[in-house]
């Protein structure tokens, strides 16, 4: 049995950095994009719980083997197994072996990614995130500067950080929201602009 | 919304809530309860924290490119005005610093603190802050009604800064300036190599020379800044790492698979009696453990017994070599 603090640290240090590769693997091998968030969560739960029992000596092969097994289980559970799915399963063997070591992401690349992620946010939301995270202002200071309530600042932070994190970790940077009537049809309004 | 997306939403809400100034022990208990409810909660939270740290780490490196490239920034007037004001304030600060510098020659206002090799001392400042000086450290401080300024001329110091929004607390180390936003942190200086680590709160590290417009970095626990001859890097520093870096406050040095040569370097900071490694082949030997910083002889005995190395005592030196 591993100590939870150690497993947390391992998870953050070794598993989460694999997310871009992992999502690429899922996208290649799974048709339905809308399942991806759930697949990812299910996989992370399995990996974490197995980590509690004992950390693998090599994280990467372990993670991709688990990802592959997860997809196989889902295909088996599905009532209709299409020829395509089976064909993909065979291809997955290859896919696992072909996962190349991630190119070293330089700080500059990451910075550029952050820039793009920020630009994807609606203006007000971006402003809040920049004041909080980059200028280092407190929530109260941001609220005062923009003459809005602290709860509005919090709301923008939630939308903004979530979108930014998903973007930086290899997702789309779009936020899922419950559709609200006919509003929010413009591209940016879907991203948490109140 | 899928179940996973809902959990993700809760996780990010926790991250935001946790930064409120009135975050309390009962809030923490509520979060802990949520985390233990299911592994799905736990992993979603870890993922958000990881992303949060990455965004912060990158945001910290706000090079000029970052703010320039953001379009539709015209509505960002209040901030650019603020920035201009900050620049003006910086200029005033420089002015007042040169006055302070002059005062120092007259012997007013500046307090000097020096520790010898092996020394370790905690000094209170007039504003209620505390500075803990490690071995072989030279530091000057000016604390008055308007400002709080410290120069770390060499060595290492740990700061516990009394909160005072009106008087920023600024530490100068070589070409870097650490602006404190209320916190506990460590600055180490070896010529132009500077390291900053935060135990609590957040600080901003920036270049002293405004003309050079070097990047500035805001760091929080979990991050550290390493600066060397003009360039600056933000790296991760786990709580364990920060803890072991601060072990000197208890009189200890803590190593985790450090090379013998770097261990020797650390010991030599604290002792007049220097460790000399006579054989390049052993300088890469890995050392783990915690040792009394001032007891170089005990460390020598350990090398002899546990590592089977030959240790020779000379007057002011300890020679380490491979056993014949």
For the stretch B83-96, pLDDT in tens is 444 444 444 333 33
Burial-class residue A106 by CB neighbours within 10 Å (0-12, 13-18, 19+): exposed
- Whether residue B41 lies within 8 A of chain A, CB to CB, comes out as no
pLDDT value of position A187: 38
**Cβ(A111)–Cβ(B61) under 8 Å?**
yes
Residues of chain B with Cβ-Cβ distance to A47 below 8 Å are 43
pLDDT value of position B212: 58
Look at the block and give the residue holding tokens 């308007």. Answer: B146
Q: How many Cβ pairs within 8 Å bridge chains A and B?
A: 133
Cα–Cα distances in Å, from B140 out to A81, A102, A179, B103, B135?
74, 47, 60, 13, 15
**Cβ(B307)–Cβ(B284) under 8 Å?**
no
Higher pLDDT, B179 or A83: B179
pLDDT value of position A183: 40
A37 and B63 within 8 Å at the Cβ level: the answer is no
| Average pLDDT value for residue range B47-57 | 85
CA–CA separation, A51 and B221 (whole Å): 25
Alpha helices in chain A, H assignment, sequence order: 4-10, 19-29, 36-53, 59-77, 83-98, 107-119, 123-129, 139-146, 150-168
**Cβ(A36)–Cβ(A187) under 8 Å?**
no
pLDDT band (50, 70, 90) for residue B61: low
What digits encode the pLDDT tens for the residues B260-282?
Answer: 998 999 899 888 889 998 788 88
pLDDT band (50, 70, 90) for residue B62: low
pLDDT value of position B60: 62
Alpha helices in chain B, H assignment, sequence order: 3-18, 25-37, 39-60, 64-69, 77-106, 239-245, 260-270, 296-307
- Whether residue B50 lies within 8 A of chain A, CB to CB, comes out as yes
Q: Which of residues 179-218 of B touch A (CB under 8 A)?
A: 181, 202, 204, 218
Least confident residue range of B18-27, B64-73, B244-253: B64-73
User: Which among A143, A165, A172, A192 is the top mutation candidate for probing chain B, defined by the most B β-carbons within 10 Å of its own β-carbon?
Assistant: A165
Q: Which of B177, B253, B180, B232 is nearest to B209 (CA)?
A: B177
Q: Which residues are CB-contacts of B314 (< 8 A; sequence separation ≥ 6)?
A: none
Q: Which residues are CB-contacts of B129 (< 8 A; sequence separation ≥ 6)?
A: B143, B148, B159, B160, B161, B162, B169
End-to-end CA distance of chain B: 71
**Cβ(A25)–Cβ(A95) under 8 Å?**
yes
pLDDT value of position A102: 44
Q: Which residues are CB-contacts of B249 (< 8 A; sequence separation ≥ 6)?
A: B120, B132, B158
Higher pLDDT, B206 or B45: B45
Q: Which residues are CB-contacts of A76 (< 8 A; sequence separation ≥ 6)?
A: none
Percent of chain B exceeding pLDDT 70 equals 80
pLDDT band (50, 70, 90) for residue B47: very high
Percent of chain B exceeding pLDDT 90 equals 12
What is the overall mean pLDDT for chain A?
A: 74
Whether A10 shows a pLDDT value over 70: the answer reads yes
What digits encode the pLDDT tens for the residues B73-86?
Answer: 333 333 444 444 44
Structure tokens at B244: 């072991």
Q: Which of residues 3-22 of B touch A (CB under 8 A)?
A: 3-5, 7-9, 12-13, 15-17, 19-21
Gap from B311 CA to chain A (nearest CA, Å): 37
Measured between CA atoms, the residue of chain B closest to residue A139 is B20
A139 and B19 within 8 Å at the Cβ level: the answer is yes
Smallest Cβ–Cβ distance between B50 and the set A12, A176, A178 belongs to: A12
What is the overall mean pLDDT for chain B?
A: 77
pLDDT value of position B215: 63
**Cβ(B311)–Cβ(B304) under 8 Å?**
yes
Count of alpha carbons within 13 angstroms of residue B287, beta-carbon side:
27
pLDDT value of position B254: 81
């Amino acid at each position: 049995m591993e100590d939870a603090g150690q497993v947390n640290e391992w998870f953050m240090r070794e598993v989460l950095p694999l997310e871009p590769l992992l999502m690429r693997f899922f996208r290649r091998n799974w048709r339905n994009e809308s399942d991806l968030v759930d697949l990812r969560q299910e996989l992370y739960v399995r990996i974490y719980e197995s980590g509690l029992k004992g950390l693998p000596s090599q994280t990467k092969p372990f993670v991709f083997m688990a990802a592959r097994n997860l997809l196989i289980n889902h295909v088996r559970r599905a009532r209709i197994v299409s020829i395509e799915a089976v064909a993909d399963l065979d291809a997955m063997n290859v896919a696992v072996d072909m996962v190349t070591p991630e190119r070293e992401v330089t700080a500059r690349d990451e910075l550029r990614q952050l820039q793009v992620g920020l630009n994807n946010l609606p203006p007000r939301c971006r402003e809040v995130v920049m004041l909080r995270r980059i200028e280092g202002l407190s929530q109260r200071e941001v609220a005062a500067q923009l003459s809005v309530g602290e709860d509005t600042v919090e709301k923008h932070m939630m939308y903004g950080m979530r979108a930014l994190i998903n973007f930086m970790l290899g997702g789309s940077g779009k936020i899922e929201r419950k559709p609200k009537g006919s509003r929010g049809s413009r591209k940016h309004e879907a991203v948490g602009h109140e | 919304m899928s179940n996973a997306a809902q959990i993700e939403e809760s996780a990010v809400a926790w991250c935001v809530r946790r930064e409120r100034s009135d975050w309390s022990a009962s809030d923490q208990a509520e979060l802990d309860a949520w985390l233990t409810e299911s592994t799905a909660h736990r992993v979603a939270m870890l993922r958000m924290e990881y992303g949060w740290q990455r965004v912060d780490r990158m945001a910290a490196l706000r090079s000029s490119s970052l703010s320039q490239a953001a379009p539709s920034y015209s509505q960002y007037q209040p901030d650019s005005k603020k920035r201009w004001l900050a620049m003006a304030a910086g200029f005033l600060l420089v002015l007042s610093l040169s006055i302070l510098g002059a005062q120092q020659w007259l012997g007013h206002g500046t307090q000097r603190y020096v520790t010898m090799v092996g020394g370790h001392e905690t000094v209170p400042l007039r504003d209620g802050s505390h500075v803990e000086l490690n071995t072989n450290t030279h530091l000057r401080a000016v604390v008055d009604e308007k400002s709080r300024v410290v120069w770390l001329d060499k060595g290492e110091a740990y700061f516990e800064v009394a909160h005072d929004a009106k008087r920023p607390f600024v530490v100068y180390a070589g070409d870097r300036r650490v602006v404190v936003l209320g916190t506990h942190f460590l600055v180490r200086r070896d010529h132009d190599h500077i390291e900053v680590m935060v135990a609590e709160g957040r600080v901003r590290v920036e270049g002293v020379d405004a003309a050079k417009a070097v990047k500035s970095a805001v760091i929080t626990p979990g991050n550290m800044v390493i600066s060397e001859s003009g360039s600056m890097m933000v790296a991760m520093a786990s709580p364990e790492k920060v803890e072991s870096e601060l072990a000197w406050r208890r009189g200890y040095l803590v190593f985790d698979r450090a090379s013998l040569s770097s261990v020797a370097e650390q010991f030599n900071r604290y002792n007049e009696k220097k460790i000399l490694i006579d054989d390049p082949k052993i300088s890469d030997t890995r050392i783990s453990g915690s040792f009394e910083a001032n007891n170089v002889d005990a460390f020598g005995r350990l090398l002899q017994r546990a590592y089977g190395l030959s240790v020779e005592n000379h007057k002011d030196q300890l020679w380490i070599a491979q056993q014949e």
